[in-house]
């Protein structure tokens, strides 16, 4: 079975786009520089195993703290308004 270079290029391009988008999406929640994370993810996705490992590491990385403080209702005052 022959595999054309055009098909390989198309597969690599689709892999780079999907890996870059996944990396950017995860980078928004887990990094201060999501664009850079997306570019690195796109480049590493050209070599499929490296892209998978990169996305897996991003997925396992803890989320960065949010800038918006949220109110946590715990303890005795739960459910009551002041």
Q: Which residue is listed with tokens 């739960």?
A: 78
User: What is the reported pTM?
Assistant: 0.73
> Residues 66, 30: contact at Cβ < 8 Å?
no
pLDDT at residue 65, rounded to an integer = 83
In which element (H, E) is residue 38 found?
A: helix 34-44
Between 6 and 70, whose confidence is greater? 6
Residue 47: closest CA among 6, 27, 19: 19
Measured from the Cβ of residue 23, the count of other Cβ atoms closer than 10 Å reads 27
In percent, how much of the chain has pLDDT > 70? Answer: 80
pLDDT grade for 82, boundaries at 50, 70 and 90: low
Structure tokens at 19: 């890996």
Confidence tier at 44 by pLDDT (50, 70, 90): very high
Domain boundaries of the chain, sorted by first residue:
21-60
**What are the pLDDT digits (tens) for 58-78?**
999 998 887 666 655 565 655
- Rounded Cα distance, 51 and 26, in Å: 13
pLDDT at 34 over 60: yes
């Amino acid at each position: 079975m022959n595999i054309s270079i055009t098909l390989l290029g198309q597969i690599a391009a689709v892999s780079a786009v999907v890996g870059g988008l996944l990396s950017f999406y995860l980078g928004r929640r887990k990094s201060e520089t999501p664009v850079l994370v997306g570019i690195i993810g796109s480049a590493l996705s050209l070599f499929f195993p490296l892209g998978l490992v990169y996305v897996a590491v991003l997925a396992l990385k803890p989320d960065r703290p949010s800038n918006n403080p949220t109110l946590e209702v715990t303890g005795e005052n739960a459910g009551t308004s002041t």
